[in-house]
Amino acid sequence: MNLPGPEDYIDIHTHDGAVTDPGIFTVISLMAHEGKQPVNIKSVAYTFGIHPWFLTESAHNSQIAAVIKAAADPSVIAVGEAGFDRLKGPSPDLQRRTFEEQMSVAEEHNKPVVIHCVRAWDELLKAHKRLKPSKPWMVHGFRGNKDLAAQLISKNMFLSFWFDFIIRPEATELIKSLPAERIFLETDGSGVDIKDIYRKVSTDLEVTVDKLKEIIYKNFIEYFNLKIINHGVTRGFTE
Ligand SMILES: [Zn+2]
């Protein structure tokens, strides 16, 4: 299992093909329909799930089988992105059923979950109440308002901010209103430099980039339930 160090920039959600760079720890979201497998590369970890856009009744069984297989891989550190999309994808019923199946795979493997959610917050919150997950969920690509952010955080969720939203001036007030121990930053395959996102958010939070790295590293340790033995040394740290 590859893990970041406290000096790394962490791009918590991007896609295959993203440029890896020294000093950047990248979490690649593999989607079941792509038919790709995780490969052991330094400074890269994976999440694996069924993206609701690419879910169909006919592909469902083979996609679930792929998630079950991938979840057992130590380089796959979370299940997802999985979730609900009211604008794109199959029926809410198929989305719900497939989400629940993925959640039980996550529980079985003791892994947290990365959430994709578009205009389906009521559905997501209901699912959280019904499933009572033992591991935290991280909502990726967040671009909602303060109230929604606070509501999700109150359910033990982390928020990763949509690259294009977080670099806008209007995002400053939102990010300042949130507990820093609940945030992640991502490029989501956009080609935007994660370092630029860190720079913007460190200015918003009035901390140095190094301090922000430390905050997000600690969030990573917390989200993935890892243990810090000494400062900067993590159980299971390889290479
Ligand atoms: Zn994505």
Residues 155-196 pLDDT 10s? 999 999 988 999 999 899 999 999 999 999 999 999 899 999
What is residue 236's predicted lDDT score, i.e. its pLDDT? Answer: 42
pLDDT digits (tens, 9 = 90+) for 36-66: 999 988 899 999 999 999 999 999 999 999 9
Cα 216 to Cα 72, 77, 105, 159, 228: the distances in Å are 26, 16, 26, 11, 14
Q: How far is the CA of 234 from the centre of ligand 1 (A)?
A: 27
Mean pLDDT of 108-128: 97
Q: What percent of the chain has pLDDT over 90?
A: 86
Widest distance between CA atoms in the chain: 50
Q: How far is the CA of 134 from the centre of ligand 1 (A)?
A: 23
pLDDT averaged over every residue in the chain? 92
Q: How far is the CA of 13 from the centre of ligand 1 (A)?
A: 6
Q: How far is the CA of 229 from the centre of ligand 1 (A)?
A: 32
Return the closest-CA partner of residue 84 out of 57, 106, 55: 55
What is residue 228's predicted lDDT score, i.e. its pLDDT? Answer: 64
95 and 52 Cβ atoms separated by less than 8 Å: yes
Q: How far is the CA of 18 from the centre of ligand 1 (A)?
A: 11
What is residue 81's predicted lDDT score, i.e. its pLDDT? Answer: 97
Q: How far is the CA of 231 from the centre of ligand 1 (A)?
A: 31
Q: How far is the CA of 15 from the centre of ligand 1 (A)?
A: 6
What is residue 19's predicted lDDT score, i.e. its pLDDT? Answer: 72
What is residue 20's predicted lDDT score, i.e. its pLDDT? Answer: 75
Q: How far is the CA of 159 from the centre of ligand 1 (A)?
A: 14
Mean pLDDT of 129-137: 96
Ion ligand 1 nearby residues (CB, 5 A): 188
What is residue 180's predicted lDDT score, i.e. its pLDDT? Answer: 97
